[in-house]
Structure 1
Amino acid sequence: MKKTNLLNYLLGTIILVSASSVYAGVKLDDIDVASDDRLLFTAEQKVPGVAEYKSLYCTKLGDEKITSDPVLLTCFPERMELLDEGKILQIRNKDGLSRYSTEEGKITKVDDGNHGKTLRTFPIASSQDGKWYCTVNPVKKATGNLVLVNSKTLLQKVLVENVDLDYSSMKVKWAPDGKALLYENNNSVYFATPDAVVKNLQVNENFRKIGEGSIDSVQWTQDKKIIYLKDDVVYCIEQNELYTRGLYSALVGNGKIISRLPVEFNCLTDKFWCNGKGNRIAVISRGNILSIYTVGIEEKNAHAKVDLICPLTEVAGTSLGYEMFWTADGKALLWNDSMDYADNEKTGTIYSVENNMAVVAKASRSIAPVMSPDNRKLAYTDNGALKVFDLSSMLETASYDKESVISVAWAGRNALYIGGKKTVGFFNVLTKESNILFLSSVDKAYWNAGFIVTKISDEKGFYCYDAEKNIWVPYRIPDVELSAKDKNGRYRAYVGKATNAKYDNTIFVRCLSGKTYTYSVFPDAMKETCNGRKVALALDAMENSEGLGKVLHVLSEYGIKVTFFLNGEFIRRYPEKTRLIANSGNDCGSLFYTAADLVENNFVIDASFITRGLARNEDEYFAATKKELTLLWHAPYYHDTQLIRTSGNTAGYEYVSAFSKFSDRTTYERSQEKAEPYKSASEIINGMVEGLEDGMIIPVCIGKANGTRKDYLYEKLDLLIAAILESGYEITDVQGLK
């Protein structure tokens, strides 16, 4: 490797990381000062919901301040995608977007305009050839603009404004050849062609409408047809007919009817998948029932043939979500993520669902499974180890357990890019061989003969930073012990206390020659900030349990403790799920023994009614969990009177009032009847965050309301938590506000 002026080269190739982009909780450490005044240090990223890791930075010291912004030398693979027909491996994390050229073996840092806006990265939807992808650029905390991006030029075009942000999915589906895409907007599905979009030749959206519904109402087949479900009707639309049907939809309808379902499809609660030929579909209704049908029967109004109807009640624990896979030979497989009632651990299970539900594999704490391009293999993780599952033999055919795997991207039928906690590498599924491309993170790095060197592990040995390609290469060093230096003849660097709450500490530099002066590498770290702002989350379990598993998983993922308020109706209906909440480590208060609205005119209540109701709820909770409730409570729906509040006080309970300006209990029907404004979950989050105050209690109700809503706040709890944290607030349980 050529010995170059490392710092000057880095400034031209890597994005500069300013102090303002360092998130709360960052810990600076592992300093090493070179003889030419270059400084190495690590920053440990403590981002909720993302694995902890150390990033390596380099900067140049000066007499009164650093002479260049710190430069990032590692690349953590929070998300990875293969783009531009396999020529680019894209790596994304909160530090920004990087691209590894598979032809040149070189990393380039790219500014996509979203750097520093969010704690975590959002998914993208890329075309199969990787020439295009769609993403949502955040505008507010929970909403943004859906854009189409040219993978090579990074040219962006807005498809839809003001769409919901989502950490787990994109409301876009690409045609197999990448020449068209489907997207959702305002409760309808539309198509677009990327070439027309970038050339500003796209016709008005009204003429590109597939039909009413959501992105879950449509699927592409391998021969580029669209299967569209509306109510109980199954439509088939040819890709070459899209514009014709868009322009003349009033005359020709939504497409060719190929079957009718025995049960209507609800695009708000149901999901469906089709096989490559489009002649078999699988529907999961309300997350409870799996149905598989054969469709495409010649008679126009013929009902689909029922291949399988299976209740999903056999799933162990509480479900976090489902995904369906169709193998190359037409077999149907179901992946289910669930949270075990016994230990609250996330488990992924693969079921064969041809004749019945049969377990074929299990995995603990897996990443989202990824199908190979030929639909013959499935990649997932089990306790951090990569597993490759052959879908023909239904057996594990390869594994990689040298480090914890964070993300993967298929590089063909038999190869994978593996994003590990320490390295990003290439893995051959057939030969089981792997090689390191670059480093994800480092524990510590050193200067050695002018080079930056780190030891990955005893097995993988030492690696040296290649400034020309921005990657790391194997390095053989003399048999000497590496040691870091905190000073040279001109400067001494040390770690000290920061006054800014966004920093756990900071790095100070003291000049040892000439004018005596001490400064912080990050000046913002020494600026006073408003500390101690807190809000509490109150999770209300009233009558339904939908989404409880995901809620508990999100809380665990973010390491946040909240207060659950449990109603007697919930405890009686779901004793197992009540125990799941009780054993989760969260605070549990009372939501009274009945779910009735206590201030309605048909109720006549007195102090005895309240105290007896609270006592009954205590008894039922103890019978279910063998634990006691915290002496906090609120009335159902937070509807109360002075009598209700004081009666609870006499029973030893403290009454809790919560933020009530916005609510996801307002359904479409209630909005019409009561003239209450209907707001989506994302709009509610935006409104809540804009009005955050120290000491605020934010209510989130588990389960669905009686009526129709497109989405619920509990479904976007991860987005709400991230928005609060990004606004500079700590999240606690109700007692933590005292």
Structure 2
Amino acid sequence: MLALGLWAAGLWALPLWGEVWFSDLDLTAYDRLLFRAEADSPGFGPYRTLFAADLADGRLEQLTFFPESISLVAGVLQVQNRFGLFRTDSALANPVPVAGLPGFVTGGQVESGKLDLVASSPDGRWLLRLSPTSAAYGELLLYDMKGGPASVASSGVELSLKAIPVLWSPDSDFFLYSKRDSLYYYSVSQLREKRVLEESYRLLGKGTVRNVRWGPASPLADGSALYYATGSLVYRLSPRELFTRSLYGGFLPIGRLAGKLPFEMDPNFDQFWVSPDGSQLLVSKAGRNLFLVPLSPEDYSGPSLSLPYLYLPGSGSVRRVLWLRTGKILVLADYRQNGAGSTGVYLLSAADLRTLPSFRRIPEEGVLDLALSADESSVAVMRADGLTVHDSGSWQKRQTLAHPRPLHVAWTPAGELIVAGAWLTELWNPASGVKRLLCLSQPGDSSFSEDERSILTAVQGAYYRRPAAAGAAAGSAGGSAVVWSATGSAALRQPRSQSAAFRVYLEDSPDRLLRNRLMARDLRLYGTRELLAKPAAAYESFPAEEEPSDPVLFAHGSRIRRREVALVFDVVDSVEGLASILEVLEEYGIRATFFVNGDALRRYPDAIREIAGAGHEVGSLFFTHFNMTDARFTVDAEFIKRGLARAEDEYHAVTAQELALLWHAP
């Protein structure tokens, strides 16, 4: 058992995540203000964003775009971060906010914590996002990028911090979504024709979007089909029969049986991938077990098969699967080692089960992501210092690109690579070696030029310049040159805070999500106003008095002093899910408290070493798990001392560290 508790703030407490602060004000004589905003992001850490504001009309423009998430949608680059959602022009440059969606420059709040990710249709016209209505549920909103109000596709959908629970069809005509352990479809053509069915008539079956994948119609046919794994059965559905079969789902099976799994599918922990020809599945069971399974409804008789199998470490999980038309499979797996995350790349050279293929590890270290080119001839390998491109057949290294801290990589249909990094987002042609700047991800030191006609910023030792005029990216849909351009050298000026009409300054903010706020003093009208005024974050008020507490059974600490909680985990007799817990804690920069007992130390010494290596506080849960109130035991002071001492000695023997001076009864 691995249990979670929320304790008093006396242990290691969670900080408030998502605080934003402004800095580096520079004001021109014509009242255009340059400033930076800094925000924390789980998984990425703090980053800066450069803005320009016109004090006369209040217009706000975002100048840099940190790529917390990217996707290539219908030939344009889509970038999402906590300041909004942006799309580029046809030249993949000059991102602008997506109209109709909330964003910082249009008056919205800066998102805190994990992003509410979106799902765009393959043709780019439609976009889905979950709008929270409570701490756990939200409305699934459908936006038409051609204009018009958002449509509510469904209500009461569970919020997810990893991905929005939807799957678009390849032709963008409909999407699947899940809620309350059930799968539904929604047709955008029915929406346009104003004949959307009531949700109960759009039910496909039990499960989540992890139960479904798109694949080929059949090993011998063109087109796409939906593969639906439920229990130990896998069905293949044609998009044309999807709507009809959902209407009669109460007494007709959904789709045609395509094959069977050797175990039951659990969408909470399992997932699968379909081979390019639709004849096989790669199944991940409980995160760490990978099986290659043939797809056939006939398994009662026939030859016995030795299936390829990959057994990952207990902390392992699959991050990326690339399945080539040649049958070759590449798997990028995550696992934890020595208190930190690590990765491994595994290759199944041929998926022909008659040849008894097996997975082997490729000697590639520090791999953060893999991307397969559209023609499947090349694989891009992303690391912390850049990219390498390998031949997908021989795995020979072809090209190398140095890039400061790349975060995402994506191939274009033309065989070029989009490299979105913490400082720059570039387009690189591996064949020619030519690269060009698409946008700046974040600025360094910045200012207006002395003549106030340009904006200058220093990024990783290089200087970049762009026009200072408002709307410099406007009208770039035809593929104009990027607004930012490299300049050999530049002299940043001393920041200025006053013009003939305004004086700008920063002051502390009462809003808990903003550390400070921008203020503008109008020197002509003798008034002061807050720039970027946003709706203040609303919190529940503190209780007037403490709740009655049980002197014997501790449940929680004070709830009237600070808005803090402490995460406490009891490691008793299982470490299932521990790797995910450690990953999330690392992502948010949280130091938690773990209580471990002797049983866990003896059964899972390597897992306990990972907890200690990650720097978390570790207390004692006694030397074994038992009921201390059981009348068969005499629990006196000497018994407690000896039990705690034994647990301390076992912990030191496993980790070479000491337990914290904290313990609680099992």
Scaled by the length of structure 1, the TM-score of the pair is 0.72
Are residues 311 and 97 of structure 1, via their aligned partners in 2, closer, same or farther at CA, if it must alter by over 3 Å?
A: closer
1:464 corresponds to which letter in structure 2?
Answer: R
Name whichever of 30-39 and 474-483 sits farther off.
474-483
For the pair 1:43 / 2:46, whether they are aligned, the reply is: no
- Tell me how far apart the structure 1 counterparts of residues 597 and 194 of structure 2 sit (CA, whole Å): 55
> Would the aligned equivalents of 1:260 and 1:304 in 2 still touch at CA under 8 Å?
no
Are residues 304 and 78 of structure 1, via their aligned partners in 2, closer, same or farther at CA, if it must alter by over 3 Å?
A: farther
1:277 corresponds to which letter in structure 2?
Answer: D
Are residues 138 and 306 of structure 1, via their aligned partners in 2, closer, same or farther at CA, if it must alter by over 3 Å?
A: farther
1:428 corresponds to which letter in structure 2?
Answer: N
Match of 1:92 in 2: 80
1:140 to 134, 140, 143: 134
> Would the aligned equivalents of 1:422 and 1:456 in 2 still touch at CA under 8 Å?
no
Match of 1:72 in 2: 62
Match of 1:568 in 2: 598
For the pair 1:267 / 2:261, whether they are aligned, the reply is: no
- Tell me how far apart the structure 1 counterparts of residues 437 and 148 of structure 2 sit (CA, whole Å): 27
2:101 corresponds to which letter in structure 1?
Answer: D
SS in 1 for 2:37: strand
Are residues 126 and 329 of structure 1, via their aligned partners in 2, closer, same or farther at CA, if it must alter by over 3 Å?
A: farther
> Would the aligned equivalents of 2:80 and 2:86 in 1 still touch at CA under 8 Å?
yes
Are residues 455 and 434 of structure 1, via their aligned partners in 2, closer, same or farther at CA, if it must alter by over 3 Å?
A: same
2:155 to 138, 154, 161: 161
2:403 corresponds to which letter in structure 1?
Answer: K
Match of 2:549 in 1: none
2:211 corresponds to which letter in structure 1?
Answer: S
Are residues 525 and 167 of structure 1, via their aligned partners in 2, closer, same or farther at CA, if it must alter by over 3 Å?
A: closer
Shift of 1:575: 0.6
> Would the aligned equivalents of 1:177 and 1:224 in 2 still touch at CA under 8 Å?
no
For the pair 1:32 / 2:26, whether they are aligned, the reply is: yes
Match of 2:409 in 1: 408
Match of 1:694 in 2: none
Match of 2:455 in 1: 453
1:427-576 pair list within 5 angstroms = 427-448=428-449, 449-457=451-459, 461-465=463-467, 467-469=471-473, 472-474=483-485, 482-488=493-499, 493=504, 502-505=513-516, 533-576=563-606
- Tell me how far apart the structure 1 counterparts of residues 258 and 488 of structure 2 sit (CA, whole Å): 68
For the pair 1:593 / 2:593, whether they are aligned, the reply is: no
Name whichever of 538-547 and 470-479 sits farther off.
470-479
Match of 2:343 in 1: 347
Match of 2:164 in 1: 170
1:196 corresponds to which letter in structure 2?
Answer: Q
Scaled by the length of structure 2, the TM-score of the pair is 0.79
Are residues 210 and 388 of structure 1, via their aligned partners in 2, closer, same or farther at CA, if it must alter by over 3 Å?
A: farther
Q: Which has the higher helix share?
A: 1
Match of 1:245 in 2: 245
SS in 1 for 2:647: helix
2:567 corresponds to which letter in structure 1?
Answer: L
Are residues 51 and 207 of structure 1, via their aligned partners in 2, closer, same or farther at CA, if it must alter by over 3 Å?
A: same
> Would the aligned equivalents of 1:344 and 1:584 in 2 still touch at CA under 8 Å?
yes
- Tell me how far apart the structure 1 counterparts of residues 664 and 89 of structure 2 sit (CA, whole Å): 57
Match of 1:181 in 2: 175
> Would the aligned equivalents of 2:651 and 2:659 in 1 still touch at CA under 8 Å?
yes
Are residues 24 and 244 of structure 1, via their aligned partners in 2, closer, same or farther at CA, if it must alter by over 3 Å?
A: closer
TM-superposition CA deviations, 1:545-603 (whole Å, max 9, x none): 12222222222222221111112221111111111111211111112222334446776
- Tell me how far apart the structure 1 counterparts of residues 302 and 254 of structure 2 sit (CA, whole Å): 18
> Would the aligned equivalents of 1:589 and 1:633 in 2 still touch at CA under 8 Å?
yes
SS in 2 for 1:534: coil
- Tell me how far apart the structure 2 counterparts of residues 523 and 426 of structure 1 sit (CA, whole Å): 36
- Tell me how far apart the structure 2 counterparts of residues 305 and 202 of structure 1 sit (CA, whole Å): 48
1:230-241 pair list within 5 angstroms = 230-241=230-241
Shift of 1:190: 3.0
Shift of 1:522: 7.0
Point out which structure has higher relative CO (alpha carbons under 8 A, 6+ apart). Answer: 2
- Tell me how far apart the structure 2 counterparts of residues 152 and 601 of structure 1 sit (CA, whole Å): 72
> Would the aligned equivalents of 1:291 and 1:306 in 2 still touch at CA under 8 Å?
no
For the pair 1:308 / 2:304, whether they are aligned, the reply is: no
1:143 corresponds to which letter in structure 2?
Answer: Y
Identity over the aligned pairs, expressed in percent?
27
Shift of 1:605: 4.2
> Would the aligned equivalents of 1:327 and 1:376 in 2 still touch at CA under 8 Å?
no
Are residues 301 and 30 of structure 1, via their aligned partners in 2, closer, same or farther at CA, if it must alter by over 3 Å?
A: same
Are residues 478 and 385 of structure 1, via their aligned partners in 2, closer, same or farther at CA, if it must alter by over 3 Å?
A: closer
For the pair 1:319 / 2:316, whether they are aligned, the reply is: yes
Shift of 1:404: 1.9
- Tell me how far apart the structure 2 counterparts of residues 304 and 372 of structure 1 sit (CA, whole Å): 37
Shift of 1:618: 1.4
> Would the aligned equivalents of 1:26 and 1:43 in 2 still touch at CA under 8 Å?
yes
Match of 1:258 in 2: 258
Shift of 1:490: 6.1
Are residues 303 and 152 of structure 1, via their aligned partners in 2, closer, same or farther at CA, if it must alter by over 3 Å?
A: farther
1:445 corresponds to which letter in structure 2?
Answer: S
Shift of 1:624: 0.8
Match of 2:3 in 1: none
TM-superposition CA deviations, 1:82-130 (whole Å, max 9, x none): 22x21x3222111112221216955432341474354332333333333
2:660 to 617, 630, 633: 630
Match of 2:286 in 1: 286
SS in 2 for 1:364: coil
Are residues 559 and 41 of structure 1, via their aligned partners in 2, closer, same or farther at CA, if it must alter by over 3 Å?
A: same
Gaps of 5+ in 1: 1-21, 637-738
2:596 corresponds to which letter in structure 1?
Answer: L
> Would the aligned equivalents of 2:71 and 2:77 in 1 still touch at CA under 8 Å?
yes
Q: How many residues align?
A: 603
Are residues 40 and 235 of structure 1, via their aligned partners in 2, closer, same or farther at CA, if it must alter by over 3 Å?
A: closer
